[in-house]
Amino acid sequence: MHDPHVLIIGGGTGGLFTGALLAKEGFRVTVLEKNREAGGGLQCFERYGETFETGMHTLGGFEAGGSLDRICRYLGIRERLRLRADDCLASIRYLSDDCQYRLPKGRAAFADYLCGLFPAEAPGIRAYVDELYRLADEVDLFYLRESGDAIPSHSEQFLWAADRLIAHFAADPKLRDVLAFLNPLYSGQAGHSPAYLHALINVLYIDGPCRFVDGSRQLANALADVIRSAGGTVDTANGATAIEMADREVTGVRSADGQTHRADVYISAVHPCTLLRLLPPEAFTRAYRQRLESIPDTYSAFTVFAVLRPGCFPYLDHTCYYQDQYGLAWRHGEAPGPRWPRGFMYFTPPVSGQDPYARKLIVNCVMPFSEVAQWAGTHVPGRRGPAYEAWKQARLEQVLERMETLHPGFGRYVAHAFAASPLTIRDYYATRAGALFGYRKDCTQPALSYLPVRTKVRNLLLTGQNVNLHGICGVPLTAITTAEALTGRNHILRKLNQSGNEPAHIC
Ligand SMILES: Cc1cc2nc3c(=O)[nH]c(=O)nc-3n(C[C@H](O)[C@H](O)[C@H](O)COP(=O)(O)OP(=O)(O)OC[C@H]3O[C@@H](n4cnc5c(N)ncnc54)[C@H](O)[C@@H]3O)c2cc1C
């Protein structure tokens, strides 16, 4: 009997975590990745002598005993990761009253800080924080607990809209806005984003935000090494071009180099709409195809990367958020108006031997894909035409102007600045409409965006951010669910919980 062979399409965060978990279980894993470097959201690139992360900048779950800490220890890669803990949860500055909130990390400190600022709201704030943790506790997988029920039951609040949850506990409009500040990390939309999603993201970061030292590709490389050291392959610059099927089963995957790869099981770790383009039309029923096409996506982003002159701009030990005024927290996804940008997040990625000054800075501004729709037919970076380049340069300058307002003199510290648009995200990750986090979760239609890891094609599974949750909060957890579809329910969780590794520490 040969080791079962699994072929994974997409060597991003989800494909690599799923591949590493299965490699550890004795599966022979082949990962096909279209880009020259594996990692997807974990991938980095070099420009002007600096390494920049493409996605996955702000991490959670790596504190001792956190979900990511435990998964990485289980995979034997935790000690390889160089992480730096943030000094607080985040800071948020509002230009309208020039007020800056410096939210501490830790459940009690977070609640105490807000109670101190809004004493009249103290009982509601404490009840709200308790509710966040109660909602997070409803998700067994978030705490890597084995789960008994295939379809778990949840409280009514679980599927409230996140803005309703906040409004239930907080009356002050300023407080309501501050409590929604992490919206850009889950594409928050009033009336649509579920309370559980808001709770999971908040709890993850309240418990301990951190970031990679020298870039996120170290995690991609460590996961790829787990696959390779078990005899598997991570094949880069060799994307899947077509999936062959017979009798409602996948029989092979053709790749860019002209080869056909055959395996026992196939896992798609790409956006489901990208998967649809690889499959013959008859693979799924028309209704299922239409469903996959009709699930709305999360919003996209415009990112500015800056190389800073040495010894000028301080290293920021946390993520900074800014908004023009209160009340914008739920409006980030709107089409840009004349005063764009009205809010964004920025941070200075740490390097080895980080000194008090930053070497680089990244600004992420939420942006809907409609902003670049007129150039949607272009697919080669650098060859999208002069009108696009002029638009991009103008947006870049608007972001730098706002940084100048936030940090007078900032322009003088910038040696080089360049930008990526929603088109960059779309073409780089092959994600529809440059969606930051794939499919959008919607509490008004919870069943629509719920995708099981199993598909109607018997030997084709799904993994990645479109199934379940996105980001570092969710993709590694879905990888466990996908891997357990092959190993047996709770099999990996049980082993992970019994492995009893000593917690590692973040420097
Ligand atoms: C700008 C940006 C900032 C972000 N910041 C954060 C953050 O701070 N914290 C956080 O937790 N999350 C963040 N995220 C989200 C996080 O990066 C994603 O949720 C996560 O990487 C998704 O994992 P995935 O495996 O589903 O997709 P990806 O990591 O995108 O991987 C998909 C992979 O499939 C490959 N692929 C596509 N088509 C094919 C094909 N035909 N054949 C082979 N390979 C193919 C792609 O090249 C890619 O490598 C950010 C995302 C973006 C875009």
Ligand 1, atom 2: closest residue by C-alpha? 55
User: 193-227: per-residue pLDDT in tens?
Assistant: 999 999 999 999 999 999 999 999 999 999 999 99
Same domain, 129 and 195: yes
From 162, 189, 207, give the residue that closes a domain.
207
User: 467-481: per-residue pLDDT in tens?
Assistant: 989 999 899 999 999
Map tokens 């600022």 to a residue. 117
- Res 505: pLDDT: 52
- Res 450: pLDDT: 85
Q: What distance in angstroms lies between residue 353's CA and the mean position of ligand 1's atoms?
A: 28
Pairing of strands 265-268, 460-462: parallel
Confidence of residue 1 (pLDDT cuts 50, 70, 90): low
Which residues fall within 8 angstroms of residue 277, CB to CB, at 6 or more apart? none
User: Residue type for 91, please?
Assistant: S
Same domain, 112 and 199: yes
Split into its structural domains, the chain has a count of 2
Domain that includes residue 38, residue range: 5-51+213-295+445-498
Task: Give the span between the Cα atoms of 103 and 177, in whole angstroms.
Answer: 13
* 359 neighbors 307 (Cβ within 8 angstroms): yes
Q: What distance in angstroms lies between residue 40's CA and the mean position of ligand 1's atoms?
A: 4
DSSP conformation class of 439: B
From 154, 189, 207, give the residue that closes a domain.
207
From 16, 37, 42, 56, mutation site for ligand 1 pocket: most ligand atoms within 8 A of C-beta: 56
Q: Ligand 1 in contact with 240 (CB < 6 A)?
A: yes
User: Residue type for 475, please?
Assistant: V
Instruction: Kindly list the distances between the CA atom of residue 194 and the CA atoms of 58, 288, 289, in Å, as whole numbers in the listed order.
Output: 21, 23, 25
Task: Give the span between the Cα atoms of 31 and 29, in whole angstroms.
Answer: 6
Q: What distance in angstroms lies between residue 469's CA and the mean position of ligand 1's atoms?
A: 12
Model pTM greater than 0.85?
A: yes
From 319, 428, 470, mutation site for ligand 1 pocket: most ligand atoms within 8 A of C-beta: 470
Same domain, 115 and 160: yes
Task: Give the span between the Cα atoms of 321 and 438, in whole angstroms.
Answer: 23
- Res 490: pLDDT: 95
Q: Tell whether the torsion through CA atoms of 430, 436, 442 and 443 is positive or negative.
A: positive
**Cα–Cα nearest to 442, from 25, 245, 160, 120:** 160
452 belongs to a structural domain: yes
Task: Give the span between the Cα atoms of 382 and 419, in whole angstroms.
Answer: 12
User: Residue type for 419, please?
Assistant: A
- Res 448: pLDDT: 87
